[in-house]
Amino acid sequence: MKTIRILNIMFIVSILQTTAVLAQMLPEYSIYGGGGLSTLNYKLSQGERSSGFGGDFGAGITYFINFQWGIHSGLGIGSYSAEVKLDCEAVTPNLVDEEGKHFDMHTTLVRYSETQKVMYLNIPVMAQFRLNPRDGFYAMGGFKVGIPINGKYSSKSAQFINKGYYPDLDNYATVQKFAGYGVFESKNFDDKIKMDVAIMLALEMGWKWQINNQFSLYSGSYCDFGLNNVVKDNLPLINYSSVDPSGFTTNSALSTFTKKTGIMAVGVKLRLAFRL
């Protein structure tokens, strides 16, 4: 009888231990929010760029394969912004005027300021490490795939000085405002930016705080660094129409004065995690 009791006790203890292990292995769901420097990363051939701020919000799920290691994924929304200031000259080549003559548009930009704002749906695939299942240090690393949701730019109160160079005549047209030449004050433009899918290296680390058996709070910092070019259109500055030459529009400086544009974000993040 004593042996049977000991076996029963050992069986119960093993069941409890197995239950505790399975409880730790259950998927961990989370919602998170963060923000900081969140910008479009690029170099301009001319002018100055200023980094912008944005946020990162979403929900995730983590599957732990043991007490320390897990695989994390989910869906998040990331917003990114930047600003450009230009005082320079740009050339829009190979245009045709209302008379069918070929010319190059030389544009001098004065006080040109452009704000760019984009939004991505981000899908992380990351490995998570934690020192122990409850309180303690944690780190995550992997990749994010960003699907563009929206991209736009706006410029305000810029001065455009347009000159048309006719190579056949070796001459400039400078004052025919009806033809798109001359000085145009306080031009404002708002339009979309065509963005591409973003591939980002993603890192995060911080501290996990156990609230109770069901809820825990992660607080830390994160860094996302874009690996590919997300603006592939190489467009001229001026959109010219021979039907309405003085009603010209512009393309974004991202398409005109840059060769590679990537995503970059550095900030702080809070993640509330729970088990169902």
Residue 253 contacts residue 87 (beta carbons within 8 Å): no
The predicted model gives 86-91 an average pLDDT of 90
- Mean pLDDT computed over 79-98: 92
Query: Which domain does 188 fall in, by range?
Result: 2-274
User: 5: which 2 tokens?
Assistant: 């009791």
Flag the least confident range among 44-48, 68-72, 147-151, 207-211: 44-48
Supply the pLDDT for residue 242: 87
pLDDT at 24: 52
Q: Parallel, antiparallel, or unpaired for β 136-166 and 182-192? A: antiparallel
Rounded distance, CA 149 to CA 106, Å?
A: 34
Give mean pLDDT, residues 247-256: 90
Distance in angstroms (rounded) separating the CA atoms of residues 96 and 99: 8
Give the per-residue pLDDT at 168: 87
The pLDDT value recorded for residue 2 is 52
The two beta strands, 28-44 and 215-226, are: unpaired
The pLDDT, as a whole number, for residue 23 is 47
Please state whether beta strands 48-51 and 182-192 pair in parallel, antiparallel, or not at all (unpaired).
unpaired
Report the pLDDT value the prediction gives residue 15, as an integer from 0 to 100.
Answer: 42
CA dihedral sign of residues 263, 264, 268, 271: positive
| Residue range 16-50, pLDDT digits in tens | 443 344 445 579 999 999 999 999 999 988 889 99
Find the Cα–Cα–Cα–Cα dihedral 24, 25, 26, 32, rounded to 10°. 80
Q: Within 10 Å of residue 234's Cβ, how many Cβ atoms?
A: 10
pLDDT-derived band at 7, boundaries 50, 70, 90:
very low
**Under 8 Å between Cβ of 243 and 97:** no
* Token pair in block for residue 114: 């452009």
Tell me which amino acid residue 93 is: P
CA distances (Å), origin 6, targets 1, 11, 14, 16, 20: 9, 9, 12, 15, 21
Quick one: tokens of 26? 């259950």
Q: pLDDT category, 169, cuts 50, 70, 90?
A: confident
pLDDT value at position 156? 85
Domain count, the chain: 1
Give the pLDDT band of residue 112 (cuts 50, 70, 90): very high
Which residues lie below 8 Å from residue 220, measured CB to CB, with a gap of 6+? Answer: 138, 204, 205, 206, 207, 268, 269, 271
Quick check: 261 pLDDT over 90?
A: yes
With 80 as the cut, is the pLDDT of residue 102 above it?
yes
As a whole number of angstroms, the distance between CA 111 and CA 255 comes to 19
**This prediction's pTM:** 0.84
- Which among 240, 244, 266 is positioned nearest to 107, based on CA atoms? 240
pLDDT score for 99: 87
Percent pLDDT > 90 in the chain is: 63
- pLDDT band at residue 267 under the 50/70/90 scheme: very high
Question: What is the structure's pLDDT at 14?
Answer: 44
Dihedral sign for Cα 104, 155, 223, 29, please: negative
Residue 19: predicted pLDDT: 39
From residue 34, alpha-carbon distances to 58, 125, 203 in Å are 9, 18, 14
